[in-house]
Structure 1
Amino acid sequence: MSEHIVHITERSLWEAARARGTYETSTRGRTLAQEGFIHCSTRAQLPGTARRFFADLDDLVVLVIDPDRLDVPVEYETDRPGGEAFPHVYGPIPVAAVVDVEPWT
């Protein structure tokens, strides 16, 4: 059993994904198609991610994702040598892989 990973997003984007059946937003303002993967975090990384990219937004939610329910690779990668590795999901996230949705305040 893999440890859950998390993804912070706007509630409206999650609601649209629920209707579609898959979540495909990589990060704020960027889609999976544009970025090539979906940016995620560990629980410990989440506050920093929220401060860095979402501090000016309201009505955010945290998607709690079970990697064992994904049918695409999850790779822990860094953007520079010696940097912190973040989980990247290389494909759409099925709604069924999201085991919880938490409000972010």
Structure 2
Amino acid sequence: MVILHCMKKEKWNEVKRNPEFGEKNLQIEGFIHCSSVEYFWRVAPNFTNIKDDLVLLCIDTDKLKAEIRWEDGDNCGREYPHIYGLINTNSVIKVLPYNKDIRGNWIKNEEFDTVQNK
């Protein structure tokens, strides 16, 4: 299964050569926020006002070494994948641009056209 993690392109370029990354997220939140592809449109508004270039990391959960817990932290009736540990870089199987319109709203990547939003 593939899950998504959104981050600044500049940060990805800094960490992609490391064997693992995510220390800051773990220090602040205790886990690393991710999303299923089906639910990403629901979390995309969190990135609307970020002016930096963003990327979507496509993480293969079978390759990920850290524990993943599917949790409904906001009691919204949907569970999102939270990674409790560092992300091993070799679990990132694809890096896609975070496409957005002039208002900063996410434009679904064509790679996800066959995935229905939930």
Query: How does the TM-score come out when normalised to structure 2?
Result: 0.75
Q: Does 1:59 align with 2:53?
A: yes
**AA at the equivalent of 1:74:** I
Instruction: Please name the residue that 1:93 is paired with.
Output: 87
**AA at the equivalent of 1:12:** E
Query: For residues 21 and 77 of structure 2, what CA distance do their matches in structure 1 show?
Result: 27
> Sequence identity of aligned pairs in percent?
33
Instruction: Please name the residue that 1:72 is paired with.
Output: 66
Instruction: Please name the residue that 1:24 is paired with.
Output: 22
Question: SS state of the match for residue 78, structure 2?
Answer: coil
Query: For residues 87 and 39 of structure 2, what CA distance do their matches in structure 1 show?
Result: 20
Cα shift at 1:65: 0.2
Cα shift at 1:19: 3.2
Change (3 A) 1:10 1:82: closer
Query: For residues 40 and 3 of structure 2, what CA distance do their matches in structure 1 show?
Result: 10
Instruction: Please name the residue that 2:9 is paired with.
Output: 11
Which structure 2 segments of 5+ residues have no match? 100-118
- Which structure is larger by alpha-carbon Rg, 1 or 2? 2
**Matched length:** 98
Query: For residues 46 and 18 of structure 1, what CA distance do their matches in structure 2 show?
Result: 22
1:41-86 per-position Cα deviation (integer Å, ceiling 9, x unaligned): 00011122121x1101241100000111111111100114452100
RMSD: 1.6
